[in-house]
Amino acid sequence: MPLAYHRQWVLRVAATIGLAVVTAIVQPAYAQATGSAADRAPAAQAGAVSGTPDGAADLMKTERFRRLASELRCLVCQNQSLVDSNAPLAQDLRNEVVKLMASGRDDGQIKSFLVDRYGEFVLYRPTLSLRNALLWLGPFLLLVGGAVAWWRLGRRRPAPAQSAQEALQHVDELLGPRH
């Protein structure tokens, strides 16, 4: 295949990967900006606070609570935020967040408390740290390594083609004299 065809194919693959990365970054931000996570949350969620004061139900209705709970992961569901999850543990975590908010802690302090208690897994979007740098950078390193390997293999030149006569002579040499 001509080299120009390979370049076009590489550009198409790179464009596809770039589009996927941009979509993965923009889609959650768009969902959060349009309020779709809050719209999907069950209406009974605010009233599901059992054993907490009436002020807790009001705190659960605030934008601050929705924003903070959307940044925290349900430890049971794993692919849902606290806002989206109906699991009993998520309800307990929502109650804990409300208690921490009522005690006057800011969002950073609440996240820090939950990370200390449950680990960084509780954060829906973990921070970039030395401990998890390989998880953040690994896919990009693999992509670059694959692109370099592909480029190097594409630069190898094929052996010059033999003429048909030369190939037949080589076969005759390998087979020996005919009887």
pLDDT tens for 131-175 read: 778 877 888 999 999 999 988 888 776 666 678 888 888 888 888
pTM score of the predicted model: 0.48
Q: Is CATH 1.10.8.640 the right assignment for the domain spanning 35-122?
A: yes
Q: How many C-beta neighbours within 10 Å does residue 87 have?
A: 14
pLDDT tens by residue, 48-93: 444 445 566 677 778 888 898 888 988 888 688 888 888 898 889 8
- Domain extent listing, the chain: 35-122, 136-175
- Average confidence score pLDDT of the chain: 76
Q: Which of 15, 61, 11 is nearest to 41 (CA)?
A: 61
Nearest to 59 by CA among 104, 89, 118, 29: 104
| Amino acid 129: pLDDT | 78
Structure tokens at 173: 């040499």
Pairwise CA distance, residues 110 & 155, whole Å:
54
